[in-house]
Structure formats: structure tokens, C-alpha cells
Amino acid sequence: MASTTEENYLKALYNLSNSQGEVNISELAQSLGVSMPTANSMVKSLQKTDLVVYEKYKPVTLTPKGQKEAALIIRKHRLTEMFLVKKMGFGWEEVHEVAEQIEHIHAPKFFERMDEMLGHPTIDPHGSPIPDNQGRMQEFSYTPLSSCKAGQIVQLTALTNSSTEFLEFLNSRKLSLGIEMKILSREAYDLSLVVSYADHLQETLSEKVSERLLVRIIG
Amino acid sequence: MASTTEENYLKALYNLSNSQGEVNISELAQSLGVSMPTANSMVKSLQKTDLVVYEKYKPVTLTPKGQKEAALIIRKHRLTEMFLVKKMGFGWEEVHEVAEQIEHIHAPKFFERMDEMLGHPTIDPHGSPIPDNQGRMQEFSYTPLSSCKAGQIVQLTALTNSSTEFLEFLNSRKLSLGIEMKILSREAYDLSLVVSYADHLQETLSEKVSERLLVRIIG
DNA sequence: ATAATATGTTAGACTATTCTAACAAATTTG
DNA sequence: CAAATTTGTTAGAATAGTCTAACATATTAT
């Protein structure tokens, strides 16, 4: 059984994997807030339990076994977030830290019950997909709002960043998942967008914000 | 902030404290399943953070600070057990292991919400008192069923042991908290008791069982 | 009260996870 | 393409928590 530390490495590797499933030691170290030698030595030890493939000076890759373990931890994280929001009255901006701890609990029934009580959800409160109990994660192909054109009508479906600060910003603008918005114009200078939604008739969103908002184009 | 390991030592010390609040190193070690030198060295380190008082070859004592920390961990454990039973459909025999992990989660709001959703319970599913959020635990003075007399009518209010095996035994006899039972007779030879309750008109309980059942005498 | 037993301590070692300093390889750039 | 920069590795050390073996103190029982 992987330790909490190992689980965190697996999760980071899963999230950092590029299209070829590769992760550099430096990215891994940075993402976990540890030094490169630390990441390096942990990667070597994950290799001994067949969770990653690794060769000196090459990027790291998760094995299928490592991918599955990682996805199952992410499943526990996202189920927990959903449970906290839907069943315990937490705001979507408050759940990350708690879920970060609860994802390491070893108690299959606990998460199965959450799953049942939530009606087997497929996305978490931030629109991210919840892997199934075999560790399979469905791929969504959402568009960043930043690459939409003036005149389009879109529905906010997910976020690429779920930091507390960003979520609090969205709260302050009454932006939540499911909301439909119309793109009124784009400022060529700074790529900010002017949009309207609900009772916000004219709201300006910086590029930094709009590239973190994932949408489905509905018109 | 105390580590998970330290929290487990505090909890054990709290539970093992005798009337003078003292615990021997050997008991502590045994209770945690570690060697005596391990317990000894941890006690020394707990002393550095003012959680225990300790002198060579003397028993260990929790400081008021240590007592409060311990009680607050026990509070999280028992709130969790109650939540699992009342809100997530767990049986009272399945909650201990999970609660043992969740008690170490650092997330005040998580436990406050449990507490609210449960209506500020004062006992857990096994009848043990839940310390308040200041770490104060109320004392109940229940009687072990084993020291009751034939003819008495009692209500089952708590257990002195909550092992899965014992709880499963109680389940098999349909014994649950709140049940009223009449003591029909006591066997002088092995101190077993014959009792009746609900639709069990004549059930024999060994001394081993009856001394683990705490009751309130109601007639 | 002394021997036998139980309890507690010290010393030294091991694993997991982390670090810094120094060095090596790979990549980028003028 | 060679120099500069970035990235990765090795070596060595630190801390937390654990162990066993050996020794010391306390307690119990004759």
C-alpha cells in the first residue's frame, strides 16, 4: 500500500503528464514543493514498486498500475469535494484542503457510500471529471472561454484552476457552473472579454480569468 | 501541531489514565503496539512540547494542555462515528477503523458541520460521551450489567468495549443501545445472567459479556 | 531482605522523507 | 558550435518513528 507521500507523488505525476504521459523531475519537484533531489529519489523508489518507468536524465512516466492508483486517489478527492458541497453545505472554494486530506483515507465503503448518496456523480464541484471505480477518467473537450469569439453564447462547464482565490473571485462575480453567457466583445489590446450573463449585463473578464473558464458553445 | 503519531499517543494516554491520571510506559507501549523503548522516547519528546509530565522510572501524566488535545481528538473520533452511523448508513460495528483515520483530519469546519448536522450529540454510537469543543468530557456513572441483581429492570446505555467482534455478537442477539431488559437470574457458578428483552424471552449472557454492558437501573 | 521477576532506560541501528552542496548532463543561445 | 543556462544526479546529513540487545531500577515473593 502506497504511503500518503507516495500517493501525492502519483497524483502529481498524473496531473502533470503531458500528451506522451511524461513528466520532468523539475516540474514534479516544483508541483510538490520539494527539492529536485527529493523528487528524484522518490521516483527511483516508485520504480521499485512498478508504479513508474524511469531512466536517468529522462522524463518519468506512470505505468498503467501507477495511473490507476493515481486515478483512484483523484476519484476519492473529487467524490469528497462533491460530498462536502452537496451534503455538508460547503462552498466550492472551501473544499480543496479538506479533500486533500480525506483522499488518503483507506476505507472503500466510506467512498462507496458517498458515491451512492451523491447518485454516482461524474463531475466534481469544479466541473472536473470523477474517475470511475476502475480508475477510468472520461475526457471532456471543453473550450477555454479565452478562445471564443464575440457573439457566441456559451455555458460555463468547468475550471482549469480551482484555487481558493480564483473561486472567491468567481463568487464575487456570481459566476457558477451551468451559467450561460454571451460574449459581447473582445478587447484586442489585453485580450479581455466583455460578457453578459444572468443580471450582469456587462462584465469584463481578463485573459487570465477567461483562459481558466471552460465552456461549451451553445450558440 | 501534533503529528498523527503524537495524536495517537495522546489519545492512548488519555484512555489509559488511572484515577491519578497516571500511565505506565509498558501499558502505553502495549496499547499502541510498539516496543517500550519506542514509547519511552516518544514520551520524552511529548514532554518537550508540554503535553506530558514525565520523570525517569515514574508513570507518565498528561498536562492540562495534553488532556485537552487528547479530548479534542476523541471528540473528532466520536463525532465521526456518529456521522457514519446516522448520516451514512454504517453499522456501529463498522465505524471504528474509519474514525481512527478521520480523527486526524485537520479541518475544524468539517467537524463543526458534522456536529450541527447531528444536532450536537453528546454520545457516540457505542454510548461513549463526546467531549465538547473545549475538550470537556462529561462523566456518566453507569453500572456494569454484571453487577446488577436478579429482578432488576435496566436499560442498556453504553459499552466498555467496542471491538468489531463484540458488536457483531451484540448484533446477533439483537442487543442495541436503549433496549430495556429484565434480569431473570444469575448463575452462581459462572456468573452468567439470564435476561429477557424485546422478543428474546430468555437469553443467557456470559460474565465476559455482561461486564462490558453498561446500564441504567430503571426498576 | 534478598532473589526472582517485571518494568524501564540506553545505545545503536534502520527506513522514510526531506534537505544542501557539489557535480554532471542536456539544452538553449549568441 | 561553444558558452551559458537549465535540468538532473550524487553524496552526505537531518528528523521522525521504529526496532533489538543489553543494562538498570523497581517490585514481588519467598
E strand residue ranges, chain A: 22-23, 52-53, 60-62, 143-144, 153-159, 180-186, 193-197, 200-205, 213-217
User: Average pLDDT in the A118-124 region?
Assistant: 98
Percentage of chain A beyond pLDDT 90 is: 95
CA of B25 and C1' of C1: distance in angstroms?
28
Domain segments of chain B as ranges:
4-62, 143-217
Type of residue numbered B206:
S
| Nucleotide at minimal C1' distance from the A8 CA | C17
Instruction: Give the CA distances from residue B68 to residues A106, B64, B102, in Å, rounded to whole numbers and listed in that order.
Output: 27, 6, 18
| Nucleotide at minimal C1' distance from the B37 CA | C9
- Give how far B209 is from chain A: nearest CA, Å: 29
Type of residue numbered B37:
P
For A148, other C-beta atoms within 10 Å of its C-beta total: 20
Set of chain B residues whose Cβ sits within 8 Å of the Cβ of A117: 88
pLDDT of residue B100: 98
CA of B168 and C1' of D10: distance in angstroms?
55
The residues, ordered by sequence, that sit 6+ positions from A65 with a Cβ below 8 Å of its Cβ are: A50, A51
pLDDT in tens, A44-90: 999 999 999 999 999 999 999 999 999 999 999 999 999 999 999 99
In order, the DSSP letters of B141-195 are -PEEGGG--TT-EEEEEEES---HHHHHHHHHTT--TT-EEEEEEE-TTT--EEE
Do B45 and B60 touch, CB atoms closer than 8 A?
no
For B4, other C-beta atoms within 10 Å of its C-beta total: 11
Residues with pLDDT less than 50, chain B: none
Three cell numbers, residue A104: 488518503
| A137: pLDDT strictly greater than 90 | yes
Interface test with A, best of B4, B101, B164 (most A CBs within 10 A): B101
pLDDT of residue B140: 84
For A145, other C-beta atoms within 10 Å of its C-beta total: 23
Do A21 and A62 touch, CB atoms closer than 8 A?
yes
User: Average pLDDT in the A162-182 region?
Assistant: 96
Q: Which is nearest to A8 in space by CA: A26, A24, A32?
A: A32
Q: Which residue of A has its CA nearest to B98?
A: A107
| A139: pLDDT strictly greater than 90 | no
Pick the CATH number of A143-217 from 3.40.50.2000, 1.10.10.10, 1.25.40.10, 2.30.30.90: 2.30.30.90
Helix, strand, or coil (residue B203): strand
CA of B26 and C1' of C5: distance in angstroms?
15
pLDDT of residue B46: 97
Specify the fold of A4-62: Arc Repressor Mutant, subunit A (1.10.10)
pLDDT in tens, A86-112: 999 999 999 999 999 999 999 999 999
Do B62 and B21 touch, CB atoms closer than 8 A?
yes
| A219: pLDDT strictly greater than 90 | no
The average confidence (pLDDT) of chain A is 96
Q: Which is nearest to A145 in space by CA: A159, A131, A129, A164?
A: A159
For A104, other C-beta atoms within 10 Å of its C-beta total: 19
pLDDT in tens, A4-32: 999 999 999 999 999 999 999 999 999 99
Three-state SS for B105-127 is CCCHHHHHHHHHHCCCCCECCCC
Do B215 and B157 touch, CB atoms closer than 8 A?
yes
Do B118 and B175 touch, CB atoms closer than 8 A?
no
B84 vs A110: CB contact, 8 Å cut-off? yes
**What is the b/e burial string over B187-208, where b = at least 16 CB atoms within 10 angstroms of the residue's CB?**
eeeeebbebebeeeeebebebe
Chain A to chain B Cβ contacts (< 8 Å) = 38
